[in-house]
Amino acid sequence: MADTIVWNTTAEEIIKIYKTDLSGKVVIVTGSNAGIGLEIARVLSLAGAKVIIPSRTLEKSHQAIATIHETVPQADLIPMQLDLSDFATVRKFAQDFLALNLPLDILVNNAGIVIEQKVLTKDGFESQFAVNHLGHFLLTQLLEEKIKASAPSRIVITSSAFNAQFNPITGLDFDNLNGEKEGYSMLCAYGRSKLCNIYHAKELQRRFNAQGVDVTVTSLHPGNVKTKMNGGATFSILKDLLKHIRRVSLTISDFMSPKDTKLGASTSVLCAVSPNTVKGAFYNNNKINTDLLHEEAENEEAAKRLWDLSEKLLSK
């Protein structure tokens, strides 16, 4: 039976509805030191999971753990260091996690950035492309064997409705993934990275299916959530939105009336725990929503091309 949970069900209400018991399960939530990532980690720990709390610094991880312990004192949380913009630290994180000899039942690739200016990472990549896509692509590859060994397992990838707003109708511009062309736009770069997330999720699911491995991969739009990620750039984002928007599925009123984190985390938690989660699907507001997908979201050739290119870029 399909999920009938309404859009304004909170993340915590979802685990209560399903009577979710994650005792003995291990979860990684990237970006779990703040925003919806913090709420996802809190709720999954409330359901009994051991949750890895990765942050760019251990200090931020410990701060997040202290915050979660305020409402979930029994939470089993492990602080670790992970900077998705620095691929050496992604490799080090994966190595350190694997050394713990734990299963990996749920990987939530939630972290993301929106920045107004074009900035290159130390590895030479445009920051939004690096953090939102390449860093998570690398992390998932490094942990893939552990995820398969823990099956049935899940990977939840946070994308955005902006995947359909700021890419041409023809799909990804593979000659501009790294912002090589002139006229950098914050939201066009963000939109590219979010379409990459969807291609990553769908190609991952196809590959797991071909291997006969029971791993469920989903991508999602959490909604416009009021977090530190977008809170400081509202005016600039709105100007870019008005300049480039081409789809009515994302309205200005939606943008100007953000959800709180309890609602913003709900779709991610639903994808992570619902017995009815559909493999390879795109979710929004606690249900499958294809209206927010780019016209080329199901383009398998483009997804494979992005996969091959991502591997090539990360091998340098």
Q: What is the pLDDT of residues 56-78, one digit of tens each?
A: 999 999 999 999 999 999 999 99
**Residue 120: strand pairing partners:** 126
* Residue 184 annotated as catalytic: yes
Q: What is the pLDDT of residue 259?
A: 81
Query: How much is the CA Rg of the chain, to the nearest whole Å?
Result: 18
Q: Which tops the pLDDT comparison, 236 or 48?
A: 48
What pLDDT is attached to residue 274?
A: 98
Which residue from 37, 160, 57 is spatially nearest to 107, judged by alpha carbons? 37
Which domain CATH number covers 80? 3.40.50.720
Q: Which residues are bridge partners to 108 per DSSP?
A: 29, 156
Least confident of 33-37, 105-109, 144-148, 227-231: 227-231
CA quadruple 165, 169, 170, 176: dihedral, nearest 10: -40
Q: Give domain status of residue 119, yes or no.
A: yes
DSSP 8-state class, residue 277: P
Eight-class DSSP state of 188: H
Kindly list the distances between the CA atom of residue 17 and the CA atoms of 38, 68, 271, 308, in Å, as whole numbers in the listed order: 21, 21, 14, 40
Predicted pLDDT of residue 165: 80
In a domain, 256, yes or no: yes
| Mean residue pLDDT across the chain | 90
Residue 24 lies in a domain: yes
Q: Is residue 252 scored above 60 in pLDDT?
A: no
Is residue 1, in this structure, part of any structural domain at all? no
- Give 179 or 139, the one with higher predicted confidence: 139
Average pLDDT for 172-178: 92
Question: For the residues 168-190, what does the mean pLDDT come to?
Answer: 88
Residue 224 domain-assigned (yes or no): yes
pLDDT value at residue 226: 64
Residue 3 lies in a domain: no
Q: Residue 278 has what pLDDT?
A: 98
Provide the pLDDT confidence category of residue 101 given band limits of 50, 70 and 90: very high
Decide if 80 contacts 54 (C-beta within 8 A).
yes
Question: Given a cut of 60, is residue 229 above it in pLDDT?
Answer: no
Which of 18, 184, 190, 283 does the annotation list as catalytic?
Answer: 184
> Residue 98 is part of which domain span?
11-314
Total domains present in the chain: 1
2 belongs to a structural domain: no
Give the length of the chain: 316
Tell me the whole-structure pTM to 2 decimals: 0.92
> What is the distance between the alpha carbons of residues 108 and 277, in angstroms, rounded to a whole number?
14
Note whether residue 4 is domain-resident.
Answer: no
Query: What is the arithmetic mean of pLDDT over 118-128?
Result: 96
Residue with structure tokens 């359909």?
164
Task: List the single range of 2-6, 24-28, 244-248 with lowest mean pLDDT.
Answer: 244-248
Confirm if 76 and 50 have CB atoms less than 8 A apart. Answer: yes
